Amino acid sequence: MAKLIRDFKVLNNTKITQDYFILELVSPEKLQNLMPGQFVQVRIDGSRETFLRRPFSVHDLDYDKNSIKILVQIAGKGTEKMSKLLPGEILNIIYPLGRPFSEPNKGENILLVGGGSGVAPLLFLAKHIKQLEINPDILLGFKSQQRIIETEEFEKYGRVFITTDDGSAGREGLVTEHPLLLKGKYDRIYCCGPEAMMKAVVSLAKSRNIFCEVSLEHLMACGIGICLCCIVKTTRGNICTCTEGPVINANELLW
Amino acid sequence: MAKLIRDFKVLNNTKITQDYFILELVSPEKLQNLMPGQFVQVRIDGSRETFLRRPFSVHDLDYDKNSIKILVQIAGKGTEKMSKLLPGEILNIIYPLGRPFSEPNKGENILLVGGGSGVAPLLFLAKHIKQLEINPDILLGFKSQQRIIETEEFEKYGRVFITTDDGSAGREGLVTEHPLLLKGKYDRIYCCGPEAMMKAVVSLAKSRNIFCEVSLEHLMACGIGICLCCIVKTTRGNICTCTEGPVINANELLW
Amino acid sequence: MVNLSFKIGNLSFKNPVITASGTCGYGIELEDFISLEKLGGIIVKGMTLKPREGNPYPRMVETPSGMLNSVGLQNNGIEYFEKHIYPRLTGLDTNVMINVNGSTIEEYVELAERISHLEKIPAIELNISCPNVKMGGMAFGTNPVTAREVIKSVRKVYSRILIVKLSPNVTSIEEFAKIAEDEGADAISLVNTLLGMAIDVKKMKPSLATITGGLSGPAIKPVAVRMVWQAAKTVKIPVIGIGGIMNEIDALEFIMAGATAIQVGTALFIDPSVPCKIITGIEQFLVERGFEDYSLLIGYINKNF
Amino acid sequence: MVNLSFKIGNLSFKNPVITASGTCGYGIELEDFISLEKLGGIIVKGMTLKPREGNPYPRMVETPSGMLNSVGLQNNGIEYFEKHIYPRLTGLDTNVMINVNGSTIEEYVELAERISHLEKIPAIELNISCPNVKMGGMAFGTNPVTAREVIKSVRKVYSRILIVKLSPNVTSIEEFAKIAEDEGADAISLVNTLLGMAIDVKKMKPSLATITGGLSGPAIKPVAVRMVWQAAKTVKIPVIGIGGIMNEIDALEFIMAGATAIQVGTALFIDPSVPCKIITGIEQFLVERGFEDYSLLIGYINKNF
Ligand SMILES: Cc1cc2nc3c(=O)[nH]c(=O)nc-3n(C[C@H](O)[C@H](O)[C@H](O)COP(=O)(O)OP(=O)(O)OC[C@H]3O[C@@H](n4cnc5c(N)ncnc54)[C@H](O)[C@@H]3O)c2cc1C
Ligand SMILES: Cc1cc2nc3c(=O)[nH]c(=O)nc-3n(C[C@H](O)[C@H](O)[C@H](O)COP(=O)(O)OP(=O)(O)OC[C@H]3O[C@@H](n4cnc5c(N)ncnc54)[C@H](O)[C@@H]3O)c2cc1C
Ligand SMILES: Cc1cc2nc3c(=O)[nH]c(=O)nc-3n(C[C@H](O)[C@H](O)[C@H](O)COP(=O)(O)O)c2cc1C
Ligand SMILES: Cc1cc2nc3c(=O)[nH]c(=O)nc-3n(C[C@H](O)[C@H](O)[C@H](O)COP(=O)(O)O)c2cc1C
Ligand code: FES
Ligand code: FES
């Protein structure tokens, strides 16, 4: 799929918690095909603190409206600015980028595991899996009840299980302590979240011999394979997470 | 007068021509006293192209509303951004800065000469002079009829004479070819505009032995006398136009 | 139509806009965004004899109007290039050049020699200025003795167009420009990145795994323009200007300072289509100002002040 | 309460935040915005024996995340300072220091000697790094022989605190740091501005009357942090970090790299009250992270990696 640079228009900017918002962005033309796990590179103009583009996973999309949604956590200067975008404003985007999650086979048991802004790519993935007539289990970890995001959306596509660090909602503890992960019978686990969480999930999956893919959020300068800054060490050597990821098979990682 | 750094609020942003707009800015507290010829240093946040503040003359003010007006010509990146400011937005300002025009004496004949964005400080000056019960003559030069700005405002305070380069309004030619300047009997001339124009006015005033002050628009980094970048060579040596100007007596200039 | 073409030695370039090494991959990666044949040239990523893994992650951090990188010449080596990449580039109607690196003089020489057999590679850029490798690179390029030695040795085995890429991390850029000219370089290109560093204060540790890295982007432009100006006044061979070029105005700044051509680096990360915009922009400027040949602008400020 | 005080030799500073020479006038100009006594110190603008007119206008141009200046040490000379400024500063409870400049070694020495008689000036900063003067300045500071000579000569006549301000326009900052230490400097400060240049493309001429100027501001921070890190690993005397510090995070970056104190320069043009914000910000960081003394952070990344 050819990569495009396009001026998308902000359709709406929805605050969901103190830290998170969702931008719906409309393509100036027919939206290119996008797969779950792929991302876009957003240009945040005009600041010395946001010189480079910023990568965001596709959270959802609508081919009829030619729009994509990105779920953004306010992490610094760039995301702070994006949080203030108004409907009608322009956001320049390069897309589609990266390799998507691999397709599950019909009839497989699927578990999605997410935490923090890592839930972003999983909604699109859950929706996609549902279209394959699979009801995935979705395990989401948050700090506390106030930090819970998007679970209602996820419920459309599968059974949702929650953990919170403080037990204020769902099960107390980390996702990696959840029985689903420890004992659940799954053919595939797809995971995105903080690196520590992904490492724990990968090690569990490996030990239980379950196919597992994680989506890495490595620092990126270009997003299109020309800077070699976003590498991760794998069994195949250093690979660029922007072109050969962000989705990587657990068995390839040297974690 | 102590210099202050304050967050002013945009009250309104009025486009007057393709290139010019007027910002009315409200002080968060009682507005400090300001005199005609003084200026403010505006901080345009968040861009690598607009790292330093930008200086603008006070165009008008209202002590009741605690507001000032600046008349801005779109000259580059910073002014371009300022042109997009919306009511309610914040603009950080350092003020009051610089030395004002000297006070005329009662009963004197006064001529104001302006061109381009140089008309900005002259409106406040005209208003001030009118309060001294003097009706100044006001000679304003523009490129063409379409470029004429603010003359109706000026008419409140004195007799307005216009020149345009192409003769599409007022008298054809440069202000420095106008009979008012060549033959008019004045005790004082106050001038602000493009450097070439000011040089011509200064040389006329000197040859006719008329008291004359010009307001210089030199490049400034700080605006408060700490960088020594804004100098002009005078009979007193190099002086900072931000602290000992921007208004300079014609006799001091080595033009 | 205005003329944008120029020559280094006997090698013609259709215009003065070249993509910089390490910022355009093998060129192929840009094909979605621009037609490579529109470019004056492409300098593919820093190459070594043997494959190199480069430095550990993290390798980049954003800085005010710029970025630091510590990629460290990750590449698959010359053999991989010959087999898999070269065949895809040979049909291109533009100058594909290779950025040549080594840890020892022998490695530089061996690689240059080998490349001299690749018919469709008309030029190499000798990188004696990489700040991200322990051996070779900047260590060669900031010492006049070793700089001279490596250029001399490569010149002996490489008879096509030799461009020497200089490091800005030196007291006198003139000295190194002169050495390159003396040793028979056909052109010099500058600047490579400035050695810099950043600390993640919140995490209280260096932002890069290697602690220091190379600074690129608009932040370094004033230093790069100055060095190009100094170098161009010192040598008679063409100077290729590099450093923070984001648009045609920046490109023209280098040209007016004395650059015969320019390279676009970090800007590609933000807008991979920018080289074509720069070409069009230069063209427009020439038309507006009534210049028929961009070469009239080379070193313009020296001629007129 | 956390401790922010430190010493250079026997001279105490209440905190590590100092205003940089040439960017804070005589200090007095900042009084509307901050109480000078809150500062660790003030380094008044570059001084010479005789009054200097400096360079012609234009003297500055904005660049990406920075600016170029070519002020060229405009100042009224030591006599004016003694008569008109010194009396206004003597009552201040902070360290007022003078940035010392000369076109010849004799001038440096004579000025330093004369300042040694000003009781309330406890330290001088020897500027061998000004890029904007034809004689002296950077010419001294980028040549190891003359650098050594001028420091040695001044040290002989000046027994109070001697800070040597280094130029970043050198191949090896370590070399110059070592020279300063060897010749008895009590501290070094770095960096002065990077030599840079800009062209006004629309006007097709140099932006500065002197063509080249000194680059300052956030753009140079990564280079400055790297040099401070290198210098601090090389010498035992305190290092004062300078270059693009806009806020407390930037200040802490220098401190973690090895700076004992920092100077705020160009940031003052944008926010003259920023030094006090930096002091408060450092304090808050220490409290949040549970450090009782900021000196625990000096060179933190070296201790922990
Ligand atoms: C493939 C990919 C997909 C991503 N998807 C999402 C998503 O859907 N939603 C979301 O909220 N976040 C996502 N991220 C992370 C997001 O890109 C960063 O949070 C964002 O770039 C921070 O920008 P900032 O200017 O606000 O932060 P900065 O002020 O630049 O830095 C704040 C923090 O963010 C980290 N960061 C900065 N730049 C990047 C970068 N280019 N890549 C990764 N981390 C960075 C920094 O290390 C720092 O810790 C994704 C990252 C990648 C690589
Ligand atoms: C005391 C003083 C009062 C002024 N009053 C007014 C006013 O009332 N209305 C008005 O429209 N303009 C005024 N100016 C000029 C105004 O400051 C500049 O037009 C403005 O700074 C340009 O900013 P920019 O970012 O849009 O332009 P840039 O993109 O930075 O540059 C565009 C052009 O503006 C010039 N310029 C840039 N910065 C400055 C600066 N700091 N000072 C002067 N010129 C600069 C540049 O040389 C260039 O030619 C005044 C200038 C001074 C010194
Ligand atoms: C990520 C990255 C990798 C680079 N790799 C190389 C390289 O392999 N060889 C080389 O000579 N220069 C390399 N450079 C330097 C660039 O070619 C260029 O000289 C420098 O970045 C300055 O130009 P810019 O500011 O336009 O990027 C690299 C720069 C970056 C940012
Ligand atoms: C306008 C200006 C004038 C300066 N004058 C001097 C000077 O007289 N002596 C000196 O040692 N450094 C001088 N400097 C350098 C600063 O003290 C400082 O080293 C440099 O600007 C880098 O710090 P910054 O990025 O915080 O400004 C000057 C800098 C500027 C911007
Ligand atoms: S981000 Fe540049 S190669 Fe991946
Ligand atoms: S603008 Fe800095 S001294 Fe006038």
Percent of chain B at pLDDT exceeding 90: 82
Write down which residue in B52, B72, B97 finishes a domain. B97
Whether C226 maps to a domain, the answer reads yes
Rg (CA), chain C: 18
C-alpha–C-alpha distance, residues A235 and A248, integer Å: 11
Chain A residues with CB under 8 Å of C33 CB are 3, 5
What local confidence, expressed as pLDDT, does residue A10 receive? 96
Ligand minimally distant from the alpha carbon of residue B240 = 6
Domain contains D278: yes
User: What percentage of chain A reaches a pLDDT higher than 70?
Assistant: 98
* Predicted pLDDT of residue D305: 59
A117 and A209 assigned to the same domain: yes
Residue A151 pLDDT class (50, 70, 90 cuts): confident
Greatest Cα pair distance in chain D: 56
pLDDT for the residue D303: 82
A48 chain-D contacts, CB cut-off 8 A? 64-65, 218
Q: Is residue A105 part of a domain?
A: no
Tell me whether residue C1 is in a domain. no
User: Could you give the count of Cα atoms lying within 13 Å of B37 in the half-sphere of its Cβ?
Assistant: 25
Task: Kindly identify which residue of chain B lies nearest to residue D19, measuring between CA atoms.
Answer: B226
- What does pLDDT average to over chain C? 96
Q: How far apart are the first and last CA of chain C?
A: 28
| A209 and A121 assigned to the same domain | yes
Beta strands at A20-26 and A4-15: parallel, antiparallel or unpaired: antiparallel
Q: How far apart are CA C37 and CA A114, in angstroms?
A: 45
pLDDT category of residue B47 using cuts at 50, 70 and 90: low
pLDDT at B150: 83
Phi and psi at residue B124, to the nearest 5°: -60, -40
How many structural domains is chain A composed of?
2
- Predicted local confidence at residue D134, as pLDDT: 74
B49 pLDDT higher than 80: no
Tell me the CATH number at A217.
3.40.50.80
Active site residue D276: no
Assess if residue C203 is contained within a domain: no
Q: What does the alpha-carbon distance between residue D184 and residue B17 come to, in Å, rounded to a whole number?
A: 64
CA angle D161–D167–D170, rounded 5-degree value: 135
Q: What is the pLDDT of residues A211-251, one digit of tens each?
A: 999 999 999 999 999 999 999 999 999 999 999 999 999 99
**pLDDT one digit per residue (tens) for chain D, 305 residues:** 899 999 999 999 999 999 999 999 999 999 999 999 999 999 999 999 999 999 999 999 999 999 999 999 999 999 999 999 999 999 999 999 999 999 999 999 999 999 999 999 999 999 998 887 777 777 888 999 999 999 999 999 999 999 999 999 999 999 999 999 999 999 999 999 999 999 999 999 999 999 999 999 999 999 999 999 999 999 999 999 999 999 999 999 999 999 999 999 999 999 999 999 999 999 999 999 999 999 999 999 998 65
In tens, the pLDDT along A86-139 reads 999 999 999 999 999 999 998 999 999 999 889 999 999 999 999 999 999 999
Residues B137 and B231 in one domain: yes
Q: Is the pLDDT of residue B52 over 90?
A: yes
| D126 inside domain | yes
- Looking at residue A46, its pLDDT comes to 53
Cα A151 → chain centroid: 14
**Does D158 map to a domain?**
yes
Question: Residue B30 corresponds to which tokens in the numbers above?
Answer: 């009682």
Chain B environment of A47 (Cβ under 8 Å): 46-48
Choosing from B46, B71, B97, the residue where a domain stops is B97
Structural contact between residues A20 and A71, judged by C-beta atoms closer than 8 angstroms = yes
Host domain of residue B202: 110-252
Instruction: Using the Cα atoms of residue D118, residue D124, residue D128 and residue D130 in order, give the sign of their dihedral.
Output: negative
The DSSP bridge partners found for residue C195 are C214
**Count of C-beta atoms within a 10 Å radius of residue D134:** 10
Chain C CA closest to residue B47: C65
With a cut of 70, which residues of chain C have pLDDT below it? 304-305
Contact pairs from chain A to chain B, CB under 8 Å:
15
Same domain flag for B170 and B226: yes
Copy the structure tokens of residue A5: 């640079």
Per the CB < 8 A criterion, the answer to whether B70 and B23 are in contact is: yes
Do residues A65 and A152 both lie within one domain?
no
Q: Which residues contact C295 (CB under 8 A, 6 or more apart)?
A: C3, C6, C260
Task: Select from A221, A222, A231 the Cβ nearest to the Cβ of C57.
Answer: A231
Q: What is the 3-state secondary structure (H, E, C) of A200-217?
A: HHHHHHHHCCCEEEEECC
Mutate to test the interface with A, among D63, D65, D266 (most CBs of A within 10 A): D65
In a domain, A104, yes or no: no
Q: Which residue of chain D is at minimal alpha-carbon distance from B223?
A: D269
- Domain assignment present for residue A138? The answer is yes
Assess if residue B104 is contained within a domain. no
Q: Give the CATH number for residue C251.
A: 3.20.20.70
CB contact under 8 A, B47 and A49: no
Q: What is the mean pLDDT of residues B215-241?
A: 96
Q: Are B60 and B124 in contact (CB under 8 A)?
A: yes
Q: In this structure, are residues D30 and D154 in contact, taking their beta carbons and an 8 Å threshold?
A: no
d(CA A108, CA D275): 62
| Confidence at residue C130, expressed as pLDDT on a 0 to 100 scale | 83
Give tens-digit pLDDT for B71-105. Answer: 999 999 899 999 999 999 999 999 999 999 999 99
Instruction: State which residues form the domain around D268.
Output: 6-54+69-195+215-304
Q: What is the pLDDT of residue D138?
A: 77
Domain tally, chain C: 1
Which residues of C are marked as active site? 130
| Chosen domain end from A97, A119, A135 | A97
- Per-residue confidence band for A49, with pLDDT thresholds at 50, 70 and 90: low
In a domain, A137, yes or no: yes
The proportion of chain A whose per-residue pLDDT surpasses 90, expressed as a percent, equals 82
Give domain status of residue D141, yes or no.
yes
pLDDT value for B46: 53
pLDDT at residue B21 in the model: 97
Q: Do B51 and A51 touch (CB under 8 A)?
A: no
Residue B248: its pLDDT value, please? 97
In a domain, C116, yes or no: yes
Same domain, B123 and B198: yes
Same domain? For B119 and B236 the reply is yes
- Residue B171 one-letter amino acid: R
